[in-house]
Each structure stands twice: as C-alpha cells, then as structure tokens.
Structure 1
Amino acid sequence: MVKMLIKNNNETIDISNMVQQKTWSGDYQQCARTLSFSLLSSPTDTDIPFVKGELGSIVTMIQEDRVLFEGYVFERSKSTANNTIDVVCYDRGIFMKRNKASYKFTNQTPEAITKRVCADFGINTGEIVSTGIKISRNFLGSTLYDIIQTAYTLASFETKKKYHTAFKGSLLNVSEKNVTDDTLVIKGGTNLIDATMTDSISGMINQVAIYDKNDKFIRNVKNDGLIKLYGLMQDYIRQPDGENYGDRAQELLDNNGVQQRITINNLGNIANVSGGTVIVQEPHTGLYGLFYIDSDTHTWRNGVYLNKLVLNFKNIMDEKEVGSMPT
C-alpha cells in the first residue's frame, strides 16, 4: 500500500484515498524525479473532502515506512469537465537545475566541490562518493547540477567509473553507477509484460576530430568499419595545452555507435529506478543479461502497479563539461 501525504502550511493531510492514479518517474539525465497524480475534488459533492494542494505544498509518497518521494507541487490543473485536480510535483533535484552560480575551483575534488556548493545553498547531503581526483575549473552562471556533474565527468575520464546524482528524500546523493544489491530479475511468463528492442544509428559518431585551443587540427580518432558501413559522422573536441584527448575521443566513439533502445513493461517494483540495474530474460527478442536503467516510469491505476523501463546494455552517465579551464 502506497501512502500519500500533502502538507499545506502546518497541516498534513493523508490523501491516499483521494488519489485515483499516480505516476512516479525519473531519468538518468534528470536530477529531479517527478510525481504526478489526479486528486479528487468536487464543488458539489460534500462527501469529497476539500484539499487545496497549493503551489509549493510538500508532497510525500511512502511505501511501508520507506519514503519514495518527497517534493513540492509545481503545477495544478482544474477543469469543469471532471472532478479531479491534476498535480505535478518535483523533488529537490529541481532546485539543482533552477539555481545558477559562479565558482572558481583550483585543485579540488568533485566531492569537495559538491559539498561546497551544497553548503552554500543549504542543501543537505547523504552519500557523496569519493574519487580522489583533483580538478581545476571556472564556472560562470552554471546550474548547480551542471557544476557537480561536470566535476564528476572530468573525474570519470581518469577513474573510468560512472556517477549518478539524485535525491533520496531530503538528501542529495552522488553514487557510483554499478550493479545494485536489489537487482530484479524480469522474465517472460512471470513479471515481464512485453519488451521492444530498437536499433538506431541516428546518434552515431564514427570519427572525432581533435583541435588545439587555437582551432588548429591535430588528428582524427575514427572507426573505419563504421564509416565504411554508414558514412562519415564526425564530432569535434578542443584539446587544452599539455593534454592528450585521445581517450576522450575514443570514449565518444565507444558510446555513440549503433544504439540499441530497449523498452520493457513489467509488474511494478520500487527498486526499478534510474541509475539501477535489472536482469532481463526474454527469448523472443534475445534479451538476456544485465541492463542499466536509463529511465523509469511507475504507474498505479485501479489497484494495478506497473513499470515502464528504458534499458541500456552500457553503463553510461549524464556527462557534462560546462565551465572552462583556469587561465
């Protein structure tokens, strides 16, 4: 049983029985998770309690004493055609996207940068994974999320690890993307409803041109086999003095080859969230093995709980490179 609470001013109201359907969702490229629901409301039916659900009200969703979502009402929609108020909420990650700041960091680790930014904006932190990699970067008018994600992206080039930024309740967590302890097995005949796999080259990069800071060409890093099959699709990166961006160029090639988009619908499980993993066993599409969750949608409707997951063979992170090297 999922319990929902809404807090208006100093009053907390249990709206569990007034919510007809709800959707809880997230994406590895979005720091903020979303909760949307339809709240019963009627100007004529006195049996339906009146709940304001003001903009900025705190909404909490709980399952068996575990807080799944804690966020704020950002949108409300009412219509004379029905007896509901449609509500859209975001968790605290929305403030990481909506606040901008300027910083100059010299020889600071991503974990130190994260703690400094969070302290300045009154954001409470939970797990902030340590990398030990020191970076120097100037940020001018960048979002808090982009600052933190850029720091961890630069560290990931050296650690070869992937990182995920998200809130758990009121705490910001930056964790390593890895196989989770609660990885669920999803297979046909039990909890899998359907699966779709799509191959695409629409986002392919098969050659990367490396230039210096004065836009003078240095060299190409390329995949001759993919160029021959699909034609040239080139990206560009600028290499600072004293650096070798060959590994970064190769990573661009590795992460942007033939893309396989996998979408599954399955019986709901709260463990299936972006940044986590699932094991899929489905013979018709040939899906067997461990997959990383890129996005997740959880829907409760008419007593039925379902998931829609977008999966990836590869462990990828939301790479950001805003700001500039100090001069």
Structure 2
Amino acid sequence: MLSIRYSDPPETEKETKARKDSKGAEPKNNFDITNYVQKLAWSGDSQQAARKLEFSIAYNTPDKDKVFVPLDLKIGGFIYLFYREKDTDPEIELFQGRIFYRKRVTNSYTFDFSCFDDLIYLAKSNIRAVITGTVAAGIQQVCKEIGIPVGTLPDGLDASVDYIADDKSGTEVLRALLDIQQTADKAAKKDTYYLPVCINGQVNVIKKGELVDGYVATADTNTFSTEHSESIEDMVNRIKAVDDNGTICQMFTINDDVTHYGMIQKIYKMQPPKPDETVDNVTAAKAQLVRLKDESSMKGLGNVQCITGYSIKVQEEQLTGTFYIKSDTHNFENNVHTMDLTLEYIPDQPEQPEIEQVDYAAPVFNSSKDRMENKQGISNGSADVDAGISAGWDAWGGQTMDNGREGCAEFVGKCGSYYSPFLAQEANNGVVYCPTMVADADAAGLLSYDTSDLQKGDVIVYGDDDHVVIYDGQGGYYGNSSSRNVTVHGSDYTEMGMPVTKVIKASRGVTMNEENRQPI
C-alpha cells in the first residue's frame, strides 16, 4: 500500500505578508494527496545521481466542476512517498524530494509532476575546493559545501585523498572520491564498489551489489518476461602502448577474443614517472581492454527493495544466477505494482582473460631528465617567446600534470616559465588555480579584456576563469586536455566550447614584487 504526502515550499517574506494581508489560508503542511494520485513511477539509474518520482493527479477547475476540490502542488514543494505491505505494518519512507517540473494540459483531467530526491542538488551544484584527508572526510566536505546532510557511511572509507575539485559537480566529486577508495581497495585485494544514495533527505553510501534478502525472481511466481542481449560494439582486444616519440613500447592482446571476434585495436599513451609516485603503465594499458558486454532486463511484480545498487537472485528460462540492478522503474497504477529492471550478471568466479604482453622497447619521455634536474622543468622566464615556448613544450609537452585533468593553470605556469617572468613566478609559487592566476595577472598589469589582441605566448582565459591555454601565434594553443589527461598542442583555440573572456599578456616581460604582488 502506498501513501503520498505533500508540503508547500517555505514561504518568502513577501509571500507570507501577502497571505496574511489577504487573510489567505495557511500553507498545506504534510497534506495527504494519495486519493488524488492516478498513477506513479518511482525510478533510479546507476548513471544518474538522484532517484526520480513521477506522478499524475486528478485535476479539474472550479468553473468546470464546482464540486471538485483541486490541489495546488507548487514547484519546490516537498513530496513524501511511503509504503507498507499490510495495514498493520509500519510505513517505510521510499522517497523524499521536491517537485522540479509540473505540466497541465487544459483538455485533460490530470496534472503531471516530476520530483527528485536531494542528490539532484549534488548533480546540479558545482564546487571549487581542495579536498584532503580521507574519502569519508571528503564526502562530508562536499555535502557541507552544498548544504546536504550526511547519513550513514560504511566503515573503511579511509583511503588518502589529495584532490582538487575545480568547477566540478558535487556528484562528479563524490564519484571521484569513491573511485579513489575503490582503487585502494583493489590494491588491498578487496573487491568493493560503492554508490551514493539519498535516504530520508540525507546522503548515504552503500556497498554496491548487496543482495536483496529473501527475493528470487522466477517465471512461476513474480516475473512476466526477461530479455538478454550481447554486444561486441565497444570491444577492444589489443592495446599498443606508445611513448612520447610515438614508439610502440608494449602490446597487450586478448588472443581468444581476437580469434573469435576479429582484432579491434586502440593506442595507449604511456605516462612518465613522477617524483614519489609509481606510474603503472601496464595496469593502465590493460584497463583499456574491453570484452564482450551483455545486458539483461526483466519485467515483473514489484518489490520495493529491488532498486538500483542492490542485486537479486534470478531463476528464469534465459537468466539464472545473481544479477546487479543497474536501473529500476517501479510503476503503481490501479492498485497494481510492477517493475522494470535492467540487470548485469555477477558471476560466482569472474573470468580472468589471458592477456599476452609483448615488450618491444623502453619508453622515452621527452626532457624527463631536464625536468628532474631543474625543479621539474620550471625556468626563470629569461628566453624570448619563440625559444621559450619551444623549450617549455619540449619539457612539458605530452605530459600528465600533477593536478591531472585539472592541470591547465599548472601547465601554463610551467611551460610559460621559459619565456615569461610572470609565469615563472606563478609556477615557482605553486599557482595551479585559474582564478588565482588571473587575479595575479590583473595585479601585475598584464590582464586585458581585448580578446582580439593575441600575441604568441599570451595566455587565453575562457569562461568565468574556468580554463587557460598558451596561444601559439598561429590560431592554435598549448594546453592541458582534461578529456585526455595530457598536455596537447591544439590547432584551434576556439574549440574549447567556452567563450574567450580575457587575455593575460604573458608575451610582455613583466615581473612582480614578491612582497606586495605589484608590478616592478
């Protein structure tokens, strides 16, 4: 049995005054709307942050039906969904969220609504923060930044974190933190996966794939139909690992898959070793291999415990075994509860493919020796622009920055340090945050809003100080690619998908006074 309740969103001071002046009714608080609801769908997906609730209520206007009492469910209003198996059972809260969308068609007798739980605020809110400590502490920091309380976190979220979130959504940051924990668990021989969920308005983390106790999907009892598909569209069965010079240094092949399905090859760009860090190019290259993918689904009688993140037992004509729930949709209509589940098979003993590794040559990384000998390649800005850019790119081209995908300002400082005293000082001061670099340039008198006046060596600033690159003087750029996680020389500086808003005139030879950060 379902019940659904509604509360008005908090009133603004203006709304409160207007209501009192007009002697209007008090806002609805915890109002039961169950008898108005005609159909309802409650769903979740492992690729999305928040669970969703969609429902339709009976609706008519007083001028069409004087007896009917219409509901005014407002955008931002709170929706609570409860469930109990029997009248004597206590209610279980399935959903708590807000109305984000409503639609009314005048020639119909319904009003449609879409709601999301509070994880939607993590997905829609971006943050800039330096996150250090443990994964658990990082989750607390992210949720506090966005204003969402944290509920239960599992024991063991203790992997060390040193992560820069530069204009990332809260969901992206949470997933990055949980990926860090998962990597640490794998190194410790623990096969653990985690998933954020919203329970009672709080962010919780569950262990992915926990089995729904006491539930088995069978054709004889609760399953209408199942589907199963297999695909090799995304398969990759050979990886060639190349160094900075494009030399093939290693090759990794799943020969059985090549024999059965044909050879599908990709290139992996090897990463140079960093100080105090071991770069495991073999593991990273093998991770690019993709095998046959299968996907299953089932339709059946609903069970409110069968939601995304958990796993179930299936005993059916096509499907037998344990399956992880990748997405779920629960439909309630005419007092009937049905569900559609997308499933992923969990083998008792995962197959480990035999991967052939062939070593051809030791990798060569450009100027890696020079970087180690010269403060990792930071110069003093004494060269002219042409020679400086050439030397800077030789030192830092094709590399992964210490800040990884967020390393655009770090790269600009390090590469530009060869010809620009200003950028050399930024690099030596450890400036890796775009807004800081822009503010320092403004203080140094190097910031320009004339985006058409570009000279070779100038730093191009995009959006709201979101990204920076070095102009190459020929319509291209030197910069850090977040998608490839490596520094690149691109041919078109307008291809970023963001507008150019400012220019740092790093082509000028201006230095800054270290004491007051003013131009000398």
TM-score (normalised: structure 2): 0.57
Q: Which residue of 2 aligns with 1:66?
A: 92
**Which of the residues 26, 38, 43 maps onto 1:25?**
43
Choose between structure 1 and 2: higher strand proportion: 1
Q: List alignment gaps of at least 5 residues for structure 2.
A: 10-26, 85-90, 187-191, 348-402, 411-431, 433-520
Q: What is the CA-CA distance between 1:324 and the residue it aligns to?
A: 4.1
Between 66-75 and 40-49, the greater mean CA deviation after superposition: 40-49
Distance in 2 between residues matched to 1:222 and 1:60, nearest whole Å: 52
Q: What SS does structure 2 have at the residue aligned with 1:77?
A: strand
Q: What is the CA-CA distance between 1:11 and the residue it aligns to?
A: 1.4
Q: What SS does structure 1 have at the residue aligned with 2:177?
A: helix
Q: Which residue of 2 aligns with 1:318?
A: none
Q: What is the CA-CA distance between 1:248 and the residue it aligns to?
A: 4.1
- % identical equivalent positions: 25
Alpha carbons of structure 1 residues 222 and 20: separation in structure 2 relative to 1, 3 Å = same
**Which of the residues 261, 277, 282 maps onto 1:246?**
282
Q: What SS does structure 1 have at the residue aligned with 2:130?
A: strand
Aligned residues: 317
Q: Is the 8 A contact 1:183 1:278 kept in 2?
A: no
Q: Which residue of 1 aligns with 2:6?
A: 6
Q: Is the 8 A contact 2:125 2:146 kept in 1?
A: no
| Matching of residue 42 in structure 1 with residue 60 in structure 2 | yes
Q: What is the CA-CA distance between 1:8 and the residue it aligns to?
A: 1.5
Distance in 2 between residues matched to 1:14 and 1:180, nearest whole Å: 33
Q: Is the 8 A contact 1:125 1:171 kept in 2?
A: yes
What pairs up with 1:30-109 in 2 under 5 angstroms?
30-43=48-61, 44-64=64-84, 65-106=91-132, 108-109=133-134
| Cα offsets for 1:136-160 (capped at 9, x unmatched) | 2222100011111111112212313
* Aligned-CA RMSD value: 2.5
Between 178-187 and 287-296, the greater mean CA deviation after superposition: 178-187
Which structure would you say has the larger Rg? 2
What pairs up with 1:270-285 in 2 under 5 angstroms?
270-283=304-317, 285=318
Distance in 2 between residues matched to 1:135 and 1:215, nearest whole Å: 33
Q: Is the 8 A contact 1:179 1:276 kept in 2?
A: yes
Q: Which residue of 2 aligns with 1:300?
A: 332
Q: What is the CA-CA distance between 1:122 and the residue it aligns to?
A: 1.9
| Cα offsets for 1:187-236 (capped at 9, x unmatched) | 01110110010111122232345566898765343322223423314264
Distance in 1 between residues matched to 2:335 and 2:269, nearest whole Å: 51
Alpha carbons of structure 1 residues 88 and 235: separation in structure 2 relative to 1, 3 Å = farther
Q: Which residue of 2 aligns with 1:230?
A: 262
**Which of the residues 324, 341, 349 maps onto 1:309?**
341
Q: What is the CA-CA distance between 1:132 and the residue it aligns to?
A: 2.2
Q: What SS does structure 2 have at the residue aligned with 1:290?
A: strand
Q: AA paired with 1:295? A: S
Choose between structure 1 and 2: higher helix proportion: 2
Distance in 2 between residues matched to 1:216 and 1:119, nearest whole Å: 48
Q: Which residue of 1 aligns with 2:166?
A: 140
Distance in 2 between residues matched to 1:20 and 1:322, nearest whole Å: 50
Q: Which residue of 2 aligns with 1:198?
A: 229
Distance in 2 between residues matched to 1:247 and 1:86, nearest whole Å: 49
Q: What is the CA-CA distance between 1:117 and the residue it aligns to?
A: 1.1
Distance in 2 between residues matched to 1:235 and 1:38, nearest whole Å: 50
Q: What SS does structure 2 have at the residue aligned with 1:31?
A: coil
Q: Is the 8 A contact 2:235 2:264 kept in 1?
A: no
Q: What is the CA-CA distance between 1:176 and the residue it aligns to?
A: 1.6
Alpha carbons of structure 1 residues 235 and 76: separation in structure 2 relative to 1, 3 Å = farther
TM-score (normalised: structure 1): 0.89
Alpha carbons of structure 1 residues 4 and 275: separation in structure 2 relative to 1, 3 Å = same
Between 264-273 and 179-188, the greater mean CA deviation after superposition: 179-188
Q: Is the 8 A contact 1:210 1:220 kept in 2?
A: yes
Alpha carbons of structure 1 residues 71 and 280: separation in structure 2 relative to 1, 3 Å = same
Q: What SS does structure 1 have at the residue aligned with 2:123?
A: helix
Distance in 1 between residues matched to 2:173 and 2:165, nearest whole Å: 7
Alpha carbons of structure 1 residues 302 and 244: separation in structure 2 relative to 1, 3 Å = same
Structure showing greater relative contact order (alpha-carbon pairs closer than 8 Å, 6 or more residues apart): 1
